[in-house]
Amino acid sequence: MKVGILGGGQLGRMLLQAAANYTVETFVLENDANCPSAHLCHHFTKGDITDFETVYHFGKNLDAITIEIESVNVDALDKLEKEGVKIYPTPAAIRIIKNKIIQKQFYKEHGIPSSDFIITNNKEDLKTNTHLLPAVHKIGEGGYDGKGVQVINSISDIEKAFDAPSVLEQKVAIQKEIALIVAINEKGATAIYPVSEMMVNPVLNLLDYQLSPALIPEKALWVVEAVAIKLVKALNSPGLFAVELFIDKNEEVWVNETAPRVHNSGHHTIEANHCSQYDMLWRIILGYPLGNTSPILPAAIINIIGTDNYSGDAIYEGLEEVLQIDNAFVHLYGKKQTKPGRKMGHVTLLHNNYQDLTHKANKVKNLLKVKS
Amino acid sequence: MKVGILGGGQLGRMLLQAAANYTVETFVLENDANCPSAHLCHHFTKGDITDFETVYHFGKNLDAITIEIESVNVDALDKLEKEGVKIYPTPAAIRIIKNKIIQKQFYKEHGIPSSDFIITNNKEDLKTNTHLLPAVHKIGEGGYDGKGVQVINSISDIEKAFDAPSVLEQKVAIQKEIALIVAINEKGATAIYPVSEMMVNPVLNLLDYQLSPALIPEKALWVVEAVAIKLVKALNSPGLFAVELFIDKNEEVWVNETAPRVHNSGHHTIEANHCSQYDMLWRIILGYPLGNTSPILPAAIINIIGTDNYSGDAIYEGLEEVLQIDNAFVHLYGKKQTKPGRKMGHVTLLHNNYQDLTHKANKVKNLLKVKS
């Protein structure tokens, strides 16, 4: 089977590591020939995943295509799908998720709990909707890794709002920020991974570290899983989805966003769950039964992020000390160049005790630095 | 760091899957451009691993080299080592193991328990040493996967003995056939994996299935581990070694053979142990601390072997049924062509109960067929 991946970043890299368990022939499309995935596929094509012709020509002789980022040319995927190429997830599902305005409308239409919002076409629109403040302003298309998101706490913040089609969402009084991954196959069978809890760094608006399975009240857990399954079923597409949610101070559950692909919040599934999210997606694409999502041990993910004030050839400090920790697993994405805030890798820690796990996660954060 | 692998088979493939967790730049030398490893490395070189010039030129600009098969040109590795390339394991250790005559002499010199033997230069030599019968006749160099081994039970079997330098070993009255993997780093620190028990198919003389951790008497286990550590330390080389042993009817322990590399008997470590044998070898080569060899759950390995009477493009029957079993993990090596007895892949099963594990292993053996 010939399967293409749009995008050649770290998610593609981990997908390709898992692909080598099967007989799949792999193709990657990505603009950067030195990307993390380029040397791990059978066929690498340098090209723009947002360009119609490039994506169409890349895909037309393949059996199936998946994505590792949603900013792809969906029109080309539509055409490919009509011509018989299987797309995971379907172009229709990518289209819903790719644009945050359409995504919010989708939640509303399907009764998925998500905070109140309005669509804004420019900054001016915010001024007539100040009743939603404090709120979060998200640009419709093109946001990534915290870019394309602005917190608008009061009228004085409106100046930094986006002057383009966006969505203004009422802020949730967050108690916990969680995520869970749901796999759904062609027949509609689902497999759900344990919920992960994100510890967010408010400065970079990037994930600081993550614990899984999350320690959340049983009743909230029940709601979270039901909401995630409902959402994924409403998308009506086989594939793997990461649903990000909030539990508010009243233990109510709100969907924040969904990603239609393998996701950062599932990195730990490589070592911490019997079937990783990467293996799971291959099982879906290749038509095999879904795998076992049970956790082996509680896990933490610590992102390895380019240290401030360092740009250039990456040097990793503290790797040896980190790898001395029992059940510390390092994943470096093979990016030659570091820059402040760039995702260069991650560490997964396993431990049966959450207190020790948190302690070790902080230790790893303090030990490991990417300099140049 | 630039690291080369001599050989591009399935062991290389799994090494390369693990390599992508680190920033290592990978090079593979192998005669078959369609081998299981060719598309998973940064740089593939088509060439003969037994040829001095080919190996030397492949290695001279690398930082380190490892092997996935021992039939390599050791003279070239000697020269590369002198010129500063790190070789895992050292050429001296490969030389000892590569020739079964030298290997047996090494055990004798170092007081490693191994069955009585004589060196035979031709068939005639067997006729004057019939006191060792029943015995096993192993060719000095070139044996692989049960080839190069003949059982000589009585004088009438001598006709099938090797007419080349070989070793004639007294047969052990085998109770259990076991293996264990020992990792040893540059500083001499060791990590030992739980013992595996092999269930051998007497017809093909190939591994039928394997259970790990093996259920062996505590006293024998103690001896097995002590012998394996002594053996590996005597080899005086960093690297990863698979030690194959027998426990006889009197619970005495005898070393059968050692492999100076990642090994079939450790395939299950990918899913069944926190740190796989493949990750472990990278930790050694890259100078990182050794990983955690603890088992997650008891495991079985079932080899997927080309079915008799089928040669040609491989078709896998029963994959879907096998993947429906909880905690069944399939590894297909991506070999296009099957032939009777060819190793095409393996399945790892995890289960907390040995009886169920054995039952499932038999089920997988019956379900999964490679045809053409």
Which CATH number is A57's domain given? 3.40.50.20
Distances, alpha carbon B254 to alpha carbons B109, B112, B225, in Å = 15, 8, 12
CATH of the domain at A202: 3.30.470.20
CB A42 within 8 A of CB B39: yes
Position B213 pLDDT exceeds 90: yes
Q: How many alpha carbons fall within 13 Å on the CB side of residue A67? A: 27
Q: Are residues B64 and B204 in the same domain?
A: no
pLDDT number for residue A68: 97
Residue A108 placed within a domain? no
pLDDT number for residue A62: 98
User: Backbone dihedral region of A116: left (phi > 0), alpha (psi from -120 to 50 degrees) or beta?
Assistant: beta
Residue B107 placed within a domain? no
Give the structural domain span for B155: 116-170
Q: Which ranges of chain B would DSSP assign to H, the alpha helix? A: 10-19, 52-59, 74-82, 91-98, 100-109, 123-127, 218-235, 269-272, 277-285, 319-324, 354-367
CATH of the domain at B149: 3.30.1490.20
CA end-to-end distance (rounded Å), chain B: 41
**Residue A1 in contact with partner chain B when CB distance is under 8 A:** no
Q: State the CB neighbour count (10 A cutoff) for residue A322.
A: 24
pLDDT number for residue A199: 82
User: DSSP label at B160?
Assistant: G
Mutation test of the interface with chain A: which of B43, B323, B349, B364, choosing the one with the most A Cβ atoms within 10 A?
B323
The model's confidence at residue A31, banded by pLDDT at 50, 70 and 90, is: very high
pLDDT number for residue A346: 97
Share of chain A above pLDDT 70, in %: 97
Distances, alpha carbon B84 to alpha carbons B59, B81, B187, B261, B288, in Å = 11, 5, 18, 21, 20
**Residue B372 in contact with partner chain A when CB distance is under 8 A:** no
B26 and A41: CB-CB below 8 Å? Answer: no
Q: Are residues A263 and A315 in the same domain?
A: yes
Give the residue from chain A lying closest to B350, CA to CA: A274
Q: What is the mean pLDDT of chain B?
A: 95
**Residue B218 in contact with partner chain A when CB distance is under 8 A:** no
pLDDT number for residue B207: 58
pLDDT number for residue B326: 93
Residue B16 sits at φ, ψ, to 5 deg, of -70, -35
Q: Are residues A192 and A341 in the same domain?
A: yes
The model's confidence at residue B208, banded by pLDDT at 50, 70 and 90, is: confident
Q: Are residues A216 and A275 in the same domain?
A: yes
Share of chain B above pLDDT 70, in %: 97
The H-or-E segment that residue B119 falls in is: strand B117-120
Q: Are residues B209 and B355 in the same domain?
A: yes
Residue A158 placed within a domain? yes
Q: Are residues A183 and A268 in the same domain?
A: yes
Report the domain count for chain B: 3
Q: Are residues B304 and B359 in the same domain?
A: yes
Average pLDDT of the segment spanning B214-218: 91
Residue A76 sits at φ, ψ, to 5 deg, of -65, -40
Min mean pLDDT across A17-31, A154-168, A178-192, B79-93 is at: A154-168
Model pLDDT for residues A118-149, shown as the tens digit of each residue: 999 999 999 998 999 999 999 998 776 667 89
Model pLDDT for residues B232-274, shown as the tens digit of each residue: 999 999 999 999 999 999 999 999 999 999 999 999 999 999 9
The model's confidence at residue B143, banded by pLDDT at 50, 70 and 90, is: confident
Give the residue from chain B lying closest to A13, CA to CA: B20
Q: Are residues B252 and B166 in the same domain?
A: no
C-alpha span between A297 and A180 (Å, rounded): 17
Residue A77 placed within a domain? yes
Q: Are residues A312 and A258 in the same domain?
A: yes
Q: Are residues A261 and A343 in the same domain?
A: yes
Return residues 260-299 of A near B (CB < 8 Å). 271, 274-275, 279, 283, 287-289, 291-292, 296
Mutation test of the interface with chain A: which of B274, B304, B325, B360, choosing the one with the most A Cβ atoms within 10 A?
B274
pLDDT number for residue B142: 77
Residue A101 placed within a domain? no
Residue A93 placed within a domain? no
Q: Identify the residue whose tokens are 């930082």.
A: B63
The model's confidence at residue A10, banded by pLDDT at 50, 70 and 90, is: very high
Position A178 pLDDT exceeds 70: yes
Q: Are residues B133 and B69 in the same domain?
A: no
B30-36, Cβ contacts within 8 angstroms, sequence gap of 24 or more: B32/B8, B34/B336, B35/B8, B35/B9, B36/B8, B36/B9, B36/B10, B36/B12, B36/B333, B36/B334, B36/B335
Kindly tell me the burial class for residue A63, based on how many C-beta atoms sit within 10 Å of its own C-beta (0-12, 13-18, 19 or more): middle
Task: List, in order, residues 6 or more apart from A128 with CB less than 8 Å away.
Answer: none
C-alpha span between A8 and A70 (Å, rounded): 12
pLDDT number for residue B200: 75
- CA-based torsion, A184, A273, B315, A83: positive or negative: positive
pLDDT number for residue B230: 98
**Residue B33 in contact with partner chain A when CB distance is under 8 A:** no
B-chain CB neighbours of A289 within 8 Å are 320, 323-324
C-alpha span between A113 and B172 (Å, rounded): 69
Last residue of a domain, one of B71, B88, B105: B88
Q: Are residues B202 and B285 in the same domain?
A: yes
Of B21, B41, B292, the CB nearest to A332: B21
SS (H, E, C) B73-88: CHHHHHHHHHCCCEEE
Give the residue from chain B lying closest to A33, CA to CA: B42
Last residue of a domain, one of B147, B170, B193: B170
Residue B319 placed within a domain? yes
The model's confidence at residue B146, banded by pLDDT at 50, 70 and 90, is: low
For chain B, give the number of residues: 372
**Residue B324 in contact with partner chain A when CB distance is under 8 A:** yes
B26 and A39: CB-CB below 8 Å? Answer: yes
Q: Identify the residue whose tokens are 């997606």.
A: A281
Last residue of a domain, one of A88, A105, A128: A88
Residue B98 placed within a domain? no
**Residue A109 in contact with partner chain B when CB distance is under 8 A:** no
* Amino acid found at B170: Q
Average pLDDT of the segment spanning B334-344: 95
Q: What is the mean pLDDT of chain A?
A: 95
C-alpha span between B227 and B113 (Å, rounded): 8
pLDDT number for residue B199: 82
Q: Tell me, what's the ipTM?
A: 0.93
Of A40, A324, A334, the CB nearest to B23: A334
B-chain CB neighbours of A14 within 8 Å are 20
Q: At what angle do helices A218-235 and A91-98 cross, to 10 degrees?
A: 120
Task: List, in order, residues 6 or more apart from B120 with CB less than 8 Å away.
Answer: B126, B129, B137, B161, B162, B165, B166, B167, B168
